[in-house]
Structure 1
């Protein structure tokens, strides 16, 4: 074992690496996902993260579905959904910060050099990844990431274009150092799903990059970044479940 490999208590959830997957996606598909005020990047990239990390002092398995997007001239990632297996974190996360969490079933493991991940919801496995470790990348890189969440509450009167809490962009700033990283070679499978339209909304349009990533957390700050136009946001207020995929009456669009 080299001095750069992760150290710690064997079996501790803190030692679990994150499975990071990135690929170029279709700009014409990204635009309809973003509310006015949040703009797509010139070459949009889907960024997926499968994780097993303690949240509220309990293990949480999850899938983060982001796409590169800018707000107020700042580069970042718009969060379309956090599919997770821990119910207690779903509602409080959306209430406090607008974090788009919802319940799903996640299977994620590493056995020797083999890595596999499966994410299922509504009896459909909409994501699979199977790969093997192909090399070790140099540690030490420091990265800064901005995630964009949306916090809002529509009016209890159910009148169109009215809110109890108008839409606000939540900026989640994070700074990491790569403590250790391993490159992967494998296959990503995305299946069409009405409830989890990842395959339809962020199709693969180029080479897929995947890695196991052990981060060192240097900073994290959650702040209100600014309001969105209330009328412009209204069509985006109705989502599929707790995600930010546009929906109808809380479910998939019927037309």
Structure 2
């Protein structure tokens, strides 16, 4: 299924690596349970896993993004649960500036002819794995835009409950996309449960919707504060596992 009309580039150049986009349907009650008050479930309980290799600060960054369909103030979008990367430099910077839920993981992702392999590893567990093959080249869809919801907040230095130095704000990452190339994959997605990455238990896969290789065209991006959440209601969500938005305890999984 290799198509010579796909994006062309210099051999070895990572600039045109496609993103592996996996979508599946999950339990709507479980999806709702991980959303902080003020952010509501989207129309359909869809989870999107994106695995990528993209140049950040002129170096390859291998990573993954975990999003769930969610709305804020009536705007449809995706709430970002986790963004795992293998670079250290952007990790804390992006958390500080925007509340982007970055944390360190190891990602393997490659294509050999029409075969695709990908897996994401953290704390000794391969918690996401995909193996599949290209079966069809699809027509490019119309340009579209997306809203990702991040949360920026800083709890108080005096560690008093329900107090903040910077109360929780929703950050709207609005991106405009075109499509350079799109291919359908047939393959298997495996989610393995892990205390540090509880995707398999907190967002179980009920139905795989699609797996595709998507080569995007970036047409515009803005990052703005969209509004403030209720600090008291958000407090149970403020302590997370590592840099993610999974609810944790002292930066680790909850005990017991």
- Classify the TM-score, shorter chain: over 0.9
Q: 1:208 is matched with which residue?
A: 209
Q: Retained in 1: the 8 A contact 2:19–2:214?
A: yes
Q: How do residues 1-255 of structure 1 correspond to structure 2 at under 5 angstroms?
A: 4-255=5-256
Equivalents in 2 of 1:216, 1:72: separation in Å? 28
Superposition RMSD on alpha carbons, in Å? Answer: 1.2
Equivalents in 1 of 2:58, 2:30: separation in Å? 37
CA gap of 1:206–1:140, structure 2 versus 1, over 3 A, is closer
Equivalents in 2 of 1:106, 1:243: separation in Å? 16
Equivalents in 2 of 1:129, 1:208: separation in Å? 14
Structure-2-length-normalised TM-score:
0.97
Q: How much does 1:42 deviate?
A: 3.5
What SS is found at the alignment partner of 1:64?
Answer: strand
Equivalent residue pairs, number? 255
Equivalents in 2 of 1:3, 1:75: separation in Å? 36
Structure-1-length-normalised TM-score:
0.97
Output one character per residue of 1:130-160: Cα deviation in whole Å (capped at 9) or x when no partner.
Answer: 0000000012521211000000000010000
Q: How much does 1:23 deviate?
A: 0.7
CA gap of 1:145–1:81, structure 2 versus 1, over 3 A, is same
Runs of 4+ displaced beyond 6 Å: none
Q: How much does 1:3 deviate?
A: 7.2
